[in-house]
Structure 1
Amino acid sequence: MGDIRQSLLPRDVLSAAKELLYHLDIYICNLVQSGRQPPLVDSKTLELVEEFILHAPKDRNAPVRKMSALQELQLLEIMCSCFQEQSRDAVRQLIFSTLFNLQGNQADESRMMLLGKLVSMAVAVGRVPILECAATWFQRTHGVYCVRLAQVLVDDYCSMVPGSGPTLHNIHSMSPRFCCQFITAVTTLYDLSSEELTPPLELLQMIVLWIQEDPRLVLITFLNTPLSGNQPLSCLDVTPLGGLVRWCIKAPLAYRRNEKQVRTNGSSESETDAGPLFSALHLSVLQVFMLLPNILSEKGLYGHLALLQLDSVAALTSDLARLLEQTDEHTHTCADAHALSQLALDRLAQALQVAMASRALLCSREDLRAICSRLPHNNLLQLVLSGPVMYYNNIHTPPLAYSPHTAHSPIASHTTLPTLPTHTPLVSHPASHTQYHTQPFMTGVQFPFRPSH
């Protein structure tokens, strides 16, 4: 394609970009048709993309070609049509990677800006092929850039334009793969370490609804990706489970801290607003963990692949210890500070127990006690750290609908729902323990247990 450069130079920026996209489509169709594996785009083609679509100057003395806002909008519409009309997924994916795979050069900034605008438009007008290509891009790209793309969508649909959230909400039905990657990226972005890094309430509501409607949504990337070990550290996690667990556990203390920091201007999203949402999210995450034994067994990875990494749990407990220390220092300012602290510790205990029982977290009891050593005493956490954790086929999944009163603790009794598919218990348990029918998560504890009153 290098020989078309001279024909593109006299054209205006929009016409040149449109013409290059046309030739790029033909070139990549022929490349895929040739059967060459892997199909590699030559360097001259990449240079044309940088010069005539990303407008990176070929040399320092060359004039910078820029598009007006209207021309850029027209280019985005042309690109949407290009991907929509191309029927072959392999061709679409290769065109997308040619345009947006990061090359480690100055044009990468232009790539990211154009990518954010294109994906945002694809969400708005329902261009599924672009969302599918973007889902693949998420899997192959450094997490720093994945987070940047997620931030663009949050800004566009949850911050800048009030009432535009329902448009973003539809991505879970348009492209579940993209939705799963988006959830993973935003849970990486918002770590609740500050007010700015706390998820907007509208985003939180969307994620809760997505997972309630389909708990397997957060496992789609994992289910559709051949895996034999851990993902590269630079990439996003293969599921958003670690980030969602972090949200649920840190939320009671993080929201109370943020509320105190901004109380003077009265602009805080209060814990009373977000609390029930995080409770519902916590129950849904536990439900996802309980789906994993059969799924991991089917893929031959049961006991061999940790979807919840021990180092991320260690980082979470370290953050939680700091938040609890800050809460203790200011206990007199919040009457329910102790209750919020215990809620966070309860959620940690519940997540650890179910994750270990489902073999999503692979670690020894000694490792777990070591990373939790800085945490204050909590009855439920002490039971988890002391006794064996087993998975049982008679554990009922908690209801997806939530109540501010019952959602905080899945230990409480719930209306019986259909059981999960039968799974052979890892360890047989004495029938005498069935007397504790109101403590389903504690069944199988090997030492006397007396509920506190």
Structure 2
Amino acid sequence: MGDIRQSLLPRDVLSAAKELLYHLDIYICNLLQSGRQPPQVDSKTLELVEEFIFHSPNDRNTPARRMSALQELQLLEIMCSCFQEQSRDTVRQLMFSALFNLQGNQADESRMSLLGKLVSMAVAVGRVPILECAATWLQRTHRVYCVRLAQVLVDDYCGMVPGSVSTLQNIHSASPRFCCQFITAVTMLYDLSSEDLTPPLELLQMIVSWIQDDPRLVLITFLNTPLSGSQPITSLDVTPLGGLVRWCIKAPLTYRRDKKPPLTNGSSDSVVEAGPLFSALHLSVLQVFMLLPTILNEKGLYGRLTLLQMESLAALTSDLSRLLDQADKHTHKSSADTHTSSQLALDRLAQALQVAMASGALLCSREDLRAICSRLPHNNLLQLVLSGPVMYYNNIHTPPLAFSPHAAHLPITTHPAHPTHPTHPTHSALPTHPAQTTITSHSSSHNQYPGQSFMTGMSFPFRPSH
């Protein structure tokens, strides 16, 4: 494509960009037809993209070209049409990569700016091919830039125009892959360490409704990711489960501190508060964990693959310890409220650990758990989880595969079935904890979040926050 540069130079900035997109489409189609493996766009073509679409000067003597706001909008519409009309997904993915894969140069800022606007427009007008390409981009790109893209969408749909969050909510049905990656990026964007890093209630309510409607949504990237090869440590986690667990556990302390106003949803009769939302989210996350044993067994990975990393859990317990210390310093203001919030956070941590271990999402020894929880204050349920009998699979014959962007993955091989272990004597029943109840549905005070079936016979102390 190097010979077309001279034909693009005399054109106006929009016409040149449009013409280059047309030639890029043809170039990639021919590249795939040639059978070259792997198909890779050459550096000369990438330089043309940077010069005529992102306006990075080809040399110091060439003046920088800039688009007006109207021309940029027209370019975005042209891109939307280009991806929509191209029927071959492979061509779309290569074209998206040629445009928006970061190269580590000065054009990257322009790439990120145009990418945010393109994906935001794709959400608004329902351009599924662009959302699917963006989902792949999120899976392959450094998490810092993934978080930046998520921030653009949150700003556009949860802050700029009141009521526009309903438009963003449609990506659940339009592109579940993008929706899953968006949730993962959002949980990294908001770590609840400050008011600015606390998710807006509109966003929180949307995520809760997504997971309640389809609990498997947060597992889509995991289910569609090959279990061989390696994923960079800098990429997003393969599921948002770790981030969602962090939200639920820290929320009783952080939202109480920030005193977020209720969400009205445009109606004085429909008021949603943070407490019930996080209670509903916590229950939904536990239900997602309970889907994992069947999925992991089908893949032959039960007991071999960990979706919750000990490093992230250690960081979470460290943050929780700090928040609890801060809460203790303010006990003179509201002693009962502080104690309730602290115990709720610890209860949720215990529940998450128990269910994650029972479902095979967390593979570790009880000694490891006691080590990372050693700085936390006493909590009855947490003490039971750390010392009492916990049902979880511990395959001593095969080392766990840390399936997250934190380790290289080896090809999965089929292992012979292990002999059945002898049945152990039945333990005597433990005394019932005062707060212990069986989770089968949401609290009656949270009727706006319909109950979902849960694992029968497993009891967890579940205390909704008010």
Identify whether the pair has TM-score above 0.5, normalized to the shorter chain: yes
Structure 1 counterpart SS, 2:384: helix
Amino acid in the other structure paired with 1:155: D
The answer for the alignment partner of 2:459 in structure 1 is 440
Q: Is 1:251 aligned to 2:251, yes or no?
A: yes
Q: What code does the residue aligned with 2:387 have?
A: S
Task: Kindly indicate whether the alpha-carbon contact (under 8 Å) linking 2:124 and 2:167 is maintained by their aligned counterparts in 1.
Answer: yes
Establish whether residue 169 from structure 1 lines up as the match of residue 188 from structure 2: no
Query: Cα gap change, 1:313/1:407 in structure 2, threshold over 3 Å: closer, same or farther?
Result: farther
Q: Structure 1: which amino acid aligns with 2:372?
A: I
Partner in structure 2 of residue 289 of structure 1: 289
Shift of 1:304: 1.4
Give the equivalent residue in structure 2 for 1:354: 355
Residues 374 and 407 of structure 1, relative CA distance in 2, 3 Å threshold: farther
Sequence identity percentage: 82
CA distances 1:306-348 after superposition (whole Å, capped 9, x unpaired): 1010110000000000000000000122241100100000000
Go from structure 1 to structure 2 and tell me whether the alpha carbon gap of 1:202 and 1:402 turns closer, same or farther (over 3 Å shift): farther
Measure, in 1, the Cα distance between the counterparts of 2:455 and 2:320: 33
Aligned to 2:100: 100
Structure 1 contact 147–186 (Cα < 8 Å) conserved:
yes
Aligned to 1:428: none
Counterpart code for 2:321: A
Residue aligned with 1:194, SS: coil
- Give the 3-state SS of the residue equivalent to 1:374 in structure 2: coil
AA aligned to 1:67 is: M
Letter in 2 for 1:11: R
Instruction: State the AA in 1 paired with 2:199.
Output: P
SS at match of 1:360: coil
Amino acid at match of 1:440: S
1:191 is paired with a residue whose SS is coil
Post-superposition CA distance 1:231-286 (Å, at most 9, x none):
43200000000000000000010111222xxxxxxx74599810000000000000
1:120-148, CA deviations, whole angstroms, 9 ceiling, x for partnerless residues? 00000000000000000001000000000
Deviation at 1:211, TM superposition (A): 0.1
Q: Give runs of aligned pairs for residues 190-209 of structure 1, distance below 5 A.
A: 190-209=190-209
Give the TM-score, by structure 1 length.
0.86
- After superposition, the Cα gap between the structure-2 partners of 1:364 and 1:275, relative to the gap in structure 1 and judged at 3 Å, is same
Deviation at 1:41, TM superposition (A): 0.6
Contact 1:280 1:400 in 2 (8 A): no
- Confirm or deny: 8 A CA contact 1:283 1:407 kept in the other structure: no
| Aligned partners of 1:250 and 1:320 also within 8 Å | yes
Aligned to 2:344: 343
- SS in structure 1 of the partner of residue 273 of structure 2: helix
Residue 440 of structure 1: how far off its partner (Å): 2.6
| 1:180 and 2:199 matched | no
CA distance in 1, matches of 2:441, 2:207: 13
Inter-partner Cα distance in structure 2 for 1:407 and 1:161: 25
Q: For residues 217 and 374 of structure 1, do their structure 2 counterparts lie closer, same or farther at Cα, with a shift above 3 Å needed?
A: same
| 1:61 Cα offset (Å) | 2.7
Q: Deviations for 1:7-65, whole angstroms, at most 9, x for unmatched residues?
A: 00000000000000000000001111111111011111000000000001112232110
Q: Given the alignment of the two structures, is residue 55 of structure 1 paired with residue 59 of structure 2, yes or no?
A: no
Moved more, 396-405 or 123-132: 396-405
Map of 1:447 onto structure 2: none
Unpaired segments ≥5 residues, structure 1: 260-266, 409-413, 421-436, 443-453
Per-residue CA deviations over 1:40-94 (Å, capped at 9, x if unaligned) read: 1111100000000000111223211000000000000000000000000000000
Alpha-carbon distance, 1:415 to partner: 8.7
Paired residue type of 1:369: R
Change over 3 Å in CA distance of 1:121–1:397 after alignment to 2: farther
Scaled by the length of structure 2, what TM-score is found? 0.84
Q: Kindly tell me: are residues 416 and 126 of structure 1, through their superposed partners in 2, closer, same or farther at Cα, counting changes over 3 Å?
A: closer
Which residue is equivalent to 1:365? Answer: 366
Question: 1:141 is matched by which residue type in structure 2?
Answer: T
State the distance in 1 between where 2:454 and 2:347 align: 25
- Higher mean alpha-carbon deviation, 55-64 vs 45-54, is at 55-64
Q: Distance in 2 between matches of 1:363 and 1:406?
A: 36
Find the aligned partners of 1:184 and 1:45 in 2 and give their Cα distance. 32
1:396-426 per-residue CA deviation (whole Å, 9 max, x = no partner) reads 9955655447999xxxxx9994868xxxxxx
Give the letter for the 1:64 counterpart.
Answer: A
Query: In the comparison of the two structures, how many residue pairs are matched?
Result: 410
Secondary structure of 1:39's counterpart equals coil
Equivalent position of 1:450 in the other structure: none
CA separation in 2, counterparts of 1:2 and 1:111?
21
Equivalent residue, structure 1, for 2:236: 236
The separation in 2 between residues aligned to 1:371 and 1:78, in whole angstroms, is 53
Distance 1:246 1:406 in 2: 24
Distance in 1 (CA, whole Å) between partners of 2:322 and 2:361 is: 26
What is the CA distance between 1:227 and its match in structure 2? Answer: 1.9
1:151 matches 2:151: yes
3-state SS of the aligned residue for 1:331?
coil
Q: Indicate conservation of the 8 Å contact 1:276/1:403, yes or no.
A: no
Tell whether the 8 Å contact from 1:231 to 1:237 is kept in structure 2 after alignment. Answer: no
Greater RCO (CA < 8 Å, at least 6 residues apart): 2
CA gap 1:36/1:51 in 2 versus in 1, 3 angstroms: same
Aligned match of 1:426 = none
CA distance in 1, matches of 2:321, 2:445: 25
CA contact (8 A) 1:180 1:217 kept: yes
Contact 1:56 1:106 in 2 (8 A): yes
The 5-angstrom pairing of residues 43-442 of structure 1 reads 43-228=43-228, 231-259=231-259, 268=261, 273-334=273-334, 335-390=336-391, 398=439, 403-404=444-445, 417=453, 440-441=459-460
2:420 maps to which residue? Answer: none
CA–CA distance in structure 2, aligned partners of residues 188 and 374 of structure 1: 24
Whole-angstrom CA distance in 2 between matches of 1:387 and 1:406: 34
Structure 1 SS opposite 2:104: coil
